[in-house]
Structures are given as C-alpha cells and as structure tokens.
Structure 1
C-alpha cells in the first residue's frame, strides 16, 4: 500500500492556530526575531513560511505608523577592480535610533546612484546599468536580469511599486536612446519587470513597452509610487527635455509624467492652476497620500513661522489639485535645521536634518522629538521601510542558445 500523501501546509498552519492568542503575538514581533522561531519545530517552520501567515504579517507591519530607517551613502564604497564590484555598507535603525543591522551589499555597474522609497517592505536601487531589489528585513537581494541586447545601457530613470490586486512588484526602467540625426527628438525606451518571476530569468525578462516615455525625467528626483492609482510618478526635467526635443513640442506646463504600471501606459500631470514654485525653501516633495491612495505634493515655503502647504491630486485625468491643508509646525529651537520630509501621515511628520538627527513632529500633540543618529551613520541619507518576510529569489537563468 502506498504511503498517504503529505499534509498540505495549510493543515500545518491550522494546527498552530488552535491557540488564537499565538498569532497576534507573532505578528507584533520584529521580522528578525520572528524568523528565529522557524528553528523551534517543523510546525513552527511551516507556519511562519506559509504564504497566508507571511501575507498577514506583511499587512500588519505595513499598517504600522512608525517605520524603520534604512541608511545609505552611494559615494562611500569599496571598489574591486578585478571583478568590477562595488561594496556598500548600509545600516538599519528603529524609531528610537537604535542600530539593528549592518547590511554589506555588493553591486555591479558602478556605485549605487539612487535608492527609491520603500514599497510594501522592499527597496529598489540602481547603479549606472543594473537594477536591484532588496529586503532589509530578510537580508535578501536580487539583481534583475539585463535587458535583451541592452547590457551596459545607462539608466535614465527608474521606479517601482507593489500591485496589491496581483501580489506583484513592478519595476520600470527608462533608457535614453538617441535616434539617428542630432536634431531628431530623443527616445526614452521604457521596460517593465515583474517580480516574483515564475519563468526563468531570461525568458521572463524585461517587457519593452510599445510607447516610450514622453518626457525627460528629473533623474535624481525621487519617483513616487501611489497604490490607489497603481502608478509611478516622476518630476519632469523640463529644460533638458526642451533642449533635446526642440522640434517635438510638448506641454510647457507639464509638471509630472506617470506610468500606470498595471496598464503600462504613460500620462502627464500639470501643476495646480495658477501655481508657482516657491523661490525660497526646499523643492516641492511628491509623496503618497496613503489614506486616500492619491498623490500628494508638499511645499516648504521657507518663511516663518514654519509651515507646510499640502496639495492632493484629486483628478489625475484633468490635473485637478486641491489644497488640502496648511500645516503649522511647532516651534523649533534656533539650532535645529529641517531637512527633507521623509514621512507625512495623520500622526507624524518625519524630517531629516543636517544636524544628524531625525526629527519627529507629532501632529496630534503638537510636540517635537529628536532622535540622534549614531556616529557611524552621520551625514548619510536615509529612507523608511516597513518589515516584510519575503525572501527574494529569481529563477535560474536559461541559456540564450
């Protein structure tokens, strides 16, 4: 008689769920602590590895109001001339400023140029020619395969985001491809990679879109992914675009170009009607309006008392912006200098600062809290992320022959 088939993993998960008090405790644990429980027994290993458990944990951590911090510096790296690799040392901190991990990351194609804001726990960054996905919670990193025939092409822009309806991450990559003739308009080819990849990495490589990106994007201005619109937004480098495309026309009032990464279509958004960028203060920051699932733009005029002007893109198709709020900040001491806005929620506004502190503004209480940055991480840039149990892997590459 043949042995009975093994029980599916969902039975293992239900066996652990007999005590309903267990899961809320596990969901509250940091990812690093939780993963240690996989060594307790096979049942615990199956339960924590189960997709249903992982998805629920990721959703709980994504809804957390206090993120973790990922510190990086693209200019500080060790270069191996023999292999052409660049070794970066990144670090993570919790909201109290306590160091959590140091992540040595090896990349190719030069040093890291830009680290994008986190989407559903993952980070995306690129060198001159390569794109990477990273999960700081599981210390996993994957280099996405090169474009067919595009190895070594310089990246002109990139972005990524998580599509909740499909459970997939989409990475968009823009490549500058001048056409024949000096005065012929430039072409910005766009290709999209989907993760997780179910096919071998070569056959499931980048999909080149039929329509190119219609504008030059501001290369070092952080793109923003908005879940509600399922789109990545870039600021337009209008002056550079006009020089390159003098005969192509294009809207002079265009402010943002976006890619709907699910429908794989480009669109353009104008700035608010009658709006003029502030001469003083920081450039406007575009961010996701998480409760509404829309795009938000925040201006810091730079006058006193300190305040933020918050706009929300109410109607993307017609470029209709609504001035959502003018937020007055609590008084700061004369020695505190505000940097870039990193987080804006109904509870918190989090700023970087050249004073080597992270500044938390509690919107409900009207209080300010400063968290010192450890000595080894001072003068580094940082972004925020939420914990995620996903271990990144790509299928093995097939031979091209």
Structure 2
C-alpha cells in the first residue's frame, strides 16, 4: 500500500473526482496549501512567486492583512453576509467610499449596479442594457477579445476554442479589427466607419461597442490612448453606447484605477470584477451613466449580488487609492518588468520575441511554436507561477500582484530569465 501511495500522482484525488474541464492545475501540478502577499506554498512546503495573481483577481495580493482584519471583525460582529439587493451597512459604506475615492476625484458620474459575483455577470448586464437603451440588437466587439464564458459574453469573445464550447450559434454580434490588427498602417476606425457608412455593407447599426483597452487573454494587445479616443468619438457620432470591459485590466492593473483614464474618455458603461472584491472574494460592479439607467426593478438580478463580505473587503481595498502613491508604485514596477522583457526579446532574437503591455499587465510573444509553454513550465519548476495567453498560447504573461515588493519582483524576473536561457539551451 505504501508503494502504491508513492506511485500516485499528487493530484490523484482531483484526477479521479474532478471534471476533465480543469485547466490551471495541469500547468501547475502541485497541491497548494498557503498563500501570503505575492507567494504561495504547496503542501510539501515549496515556495512559489506568483506572477499570475488569480488571473487578475488578486491585485492586492494573497491574504491581504488589512482586508483580512476587516473581514474577521465584520464576521465576529455577526454582520450580514448575504442580502440579495437589500440595503446593508456594508453596501452603504462601499457605495460612499467608491464615490468619494474613485468617481468624484475623476469627475465621473455613474450609477453602481451589482449584477452578480463574476465578470461575465457584469458583461451580460452591460450588453442587455445597451440593447434596452438603444432598441438595437447587434453588439460590436473586437478581434482577440475575451469577455466571459456565458452565452452573451461568449458571443462577443473572439477566441475560437472558447466560442466552440458554447455548442450553439452566437448571434447578434459583430467582430471588428482591434488596433494594429492589420498592421500599423491601417486605421481600423476608418475600416469600421466604412461599414456603417455603406448601406450595402450588410452591417446593422450596433447598440454598443465593447472594448478591452488591453486584451489580456487575447495576448496582451494594447490599445493606444489615441485609438481609444477615436473609438469614443466613433460611438458618439453614430449614437452607439461605449462599454469598457475593465474586469481584468481595471483596479490599477495598468497603473491607474481605470485602464482608460489617460485617454480622457468616459464610457457609457464600465464592467468591473476580479480585483474589485479586494481579497479575491467574488464581486462585480456595472457602472452606468445616469441617463442610461433605465432598468425596471428586478429586471436583471442574481442571488449573490448581495455579497457583503466582498463589500467589506472592497471598501478596504479602496484605501490604496486615496492618493496617487500606489499608482506611482505600479508604474515604477511596470517599468522594471518592461525593461526585463525588452532585454529578453533583444537577447534571444531566434525566439522571435516581442514584448508588450502596460503597467503590471505585460507579456512577451514567442514566435517559435510551443516555446511559450516550455518557458512557463521551466519557470514553475524553478518556483515561479505564470501563464500563457493569446489565441495560440504564444504569449508569456507577467501579471504579479500590484502590491508585490520590489525584491520579490526582481527574484521572479530572474527566474524568468533563467527559464528563457534553459529553453534556449534545450533547442
């Protein structure tokens, strides 16, 4: 029996009882036990630096001590945990602090909707609302977009593998080319204009356009601030609602709380989730310009839209944004990552590598098929957790917690450099 136990995979319980749909545990084949800050430990006590951050849900790190203290205090006082959309003290505090710390200093005016616990809940509510406001059906999205795994969100997602998983047609959407999809010499906004100007194009006037300013799952494709301005102008010209999906790249991931702030635009609808919950607790918000808040009571709802533990953690997380120090730290750390990735691209031209990204949402595209997976595997073996992205998994993605201390960031980047060197030698 002892010999049999030793021969078993450390994941044998999951392999036996959990669905084949599991994915991340295949890339990180160990059983994790503890986590703090930007590190995890498996049950054997091995330490890992986290350049994954819960796919962007852990911007403030694992077991953030300030948020943990607030959650424990709230629970010990028998605070309400589940409330649907009833009014609670915890929700009131979040709404007030979000206004005072985030919206008012930026000159933004939005109503806050609690659509459910996940990013796709926020996206679904945004798509429904755009159609309700305009009376039109079609939603325009972009190549390589990813907006979620429910049917409406999949319909505006570009990835073929994810779309095929729906098993049905995904209608009433239209995919248009993202910036630089045809190369730097083609203005994709002109391309979009031509479709709407031409009565013979077969393209109906959309209800809304949904946009990621940095396409995370799509391969760290970065929209310039100038292009974002053109998208907003396009929407205003045609009476289309602009929806920005900030589920992964919001909450400071690119350096500012909202990823589009430096573009100077004001979307009609903003989708937030992942790190808006602060502690990794599920929470989503949909921000709506007041003139578009035309919902009937209960017209869109969800059982877990009243997740008060998430409200408590989210309120504490907003303390990071009471001044611009945190934003400056993210920018500085992002410059360190950029320098490392650019250096790797120059050092290994045979890998056909291209670095790109913004803030602490960065990646390096590898032109050699399958090599990005090998690099991430080599990194994991050395104690660094990171994933690939892009339509073919060709981008090595660097996305640590925003709170990562400088020495741990440097340590992770050193492991990444070692992994590149090892994979080169193996070729």
TM range (shorter): under 0.3
After TM superposition, the score normalised by the length of structure 2 is 0.26
Judging by fraction of residues, say which structure has more helix.
2
After TM superposition, the score normalised by the length of structure 1 is 0.27
Judging by fraction of residues, say which structure has more strand.
1
Q: Which has the higher contact order (CA 8 A, sep 6+)?
A: 2
